[in-house]
Amino acid sequence: MKKYGRYRFWAFIVITLVIIYAVCNGVISDSGTLFAGYSVRVMGMEVMPLYGYVSSMDSEGTGAASKIADNINPINGYARDRYIKKSELSGQLTEQETESRNTDFSQSLATQESAESAADVTTAASVEATAVPEKTSVSDIAAAASANVITGTLYPKTSLSNYNYVLSNFYTVTGITELGSDKLRPAEFLQKDMKMSQDSSKPQILIFHTHSQEAFADSAEGDEADTIVGVGDYLTRLLSEKYGYNVIHDKSVYDLVNGKLDRSKAYTYAEQSVASILEKNPSIEVVIDLHRDGVPDTTRLVTEVNGKKTAKIMFFNGLSYSRVNGDISYLPNPYRDDNLALSLQMQLMGNAYYPGYLRRIYVNAYRYCLHMRGKSMLIEAGAQTNTVEEVKNAMEPLADILDKTLCGEKCW
């Protein structure tokens, strides 16, 4: 058996080298490349079980072995990503197909985060073992948390001008796209003017929910107030009543078809509605698509802000860029630079005033609904394992961070 095992090992090495040579020299087609990539992975798991274990591990969403495979054969990253259908490998990507996959994209990322910040994370079991707390009263908006003193991190300007430093400290990038130095230009982005004057006489901010049915651990079934829409209500009140902005909250449902959950065209429906709202209200500068994330059921991303259990927040950017095919020309985003600048400035603001509150900025290939205004954001507020109270609490620092950014405050 030992001799047979050695033969299998050397056969695996020889076949792998032959495939690498064929891929690098264009001997086999894309479909052949895909088959070859999977063959190597299957053989590797058979010959060396540790390979299969390492491949399934996530390091910022990508396993160590997968990173090596991706560098040799980029389409491997495309095939591996759990949010891309096999039919998309041919390049026949439709907007409905590509833009419908953003709800449960970061389960492995959340698992990694919970391991790295165990002090801030509790298990779902511990929540179930205790009495469900009364939901936060949101009647006193004026008393909502805001910070006037920097208690977190102020990063050196030299570090923030360094592409590698910024990428490695603030971003998680999926395997199907790339955030190269041509796209991420931190020194330039931190100089971008994101200010917006408060004017309650005309709409300035739009909040909507592509996935309006997203709910939480203790949500009452059928109660809109317990869904992400209810969280959006609280954010709307904070921004309008505490900070003086004129806010439109679009509560339209884009992810139900004939009474059943269907997200296959949610982004298409949302885009049409948002475009109509913006056409009628050209004064709107900030557009927020507010979601909640999907994570493993044993994970809860929680921190504490001003003595209150608070769900963690994640900013999300879509690049309209495929690692395999380059720019996705039929999904153009003329505001990509502004999108990236706004999320980076808000990330630094949050890290300065609310340490531990923000997760890394998540970057994926598509554009979602981020292409209609420069100050567009997709924000993941907590996850399905957070309580309604925790996620509503998270709106208080979020509103404060947004206001500080729109007022032109700098913390770098």
Interval 43-79: pLDDT, tens: 444 444 433 333 333 333 344 444 444 443 433 433 3
Looking at residue 8, its pLDDT comes to: 60
Say which residue, 404 or 121, is predicted with more confidence. 404
Report the run of H or E that residue 309 belongs to, with start and end. Answer: strand 308-311
Cα torsion 283, 286, 289, 291: sign = negative
Domain with CATH 3.40.630.40 in the chain: 107-406
* DSSP letter (8 states) at residue 381: E
pLDDT band at 198 (very low <50, low <70, confident <90, very high): confident
CB 203 within 8 A of CB 279: no
pLDDT reading at 150 higher than 90: yes
Q: What's the mean pLDDT in 378-393?
A: 98
Looking at residue 398, its pLDDT comes to: 99
pLDDT reading at 379 higher than 60: yes
Which residue, among 144, 143, 175, has the nearest Cα to 78 in the 3D structure? Answer: 175
Written out in words, the top-level CATH class of the domain with range 107-406 is alpha beta
pLDDT reading at 82 higher than 60: no
Q: What's the mean pLDDT in 338-365?
A: 98
Which residues, at least 6 apart from 253, have a Cβ–Cβ distance to it below 8 Å? 212, 213
**C-alpha to C-alpha distance for 186 and 163, rounded to whole angstroms:** 7
pLDDT band at 145 (very low <50, low <70, confident <90, very high): confident
* Ranges 3-12, 177-186, 321-330, 388-397: which has the least confidence: 3-12
Q: What's the mean pLDDT in 236-259?
A: 96
Query: Which residue has 């990236």 as its token pair?
Result: 340
* pTM for the predicted model, two decimal places: 0.71
Say which residue, 246 or 125, is predicted with more confidence. 246
Looking at residue 25, its pLDDT comes to: 60
Looking at residue 318, its pLDDT comes to: 98
pLDDT band at 172 (very low <50, low <70, confident <90, very high): very high
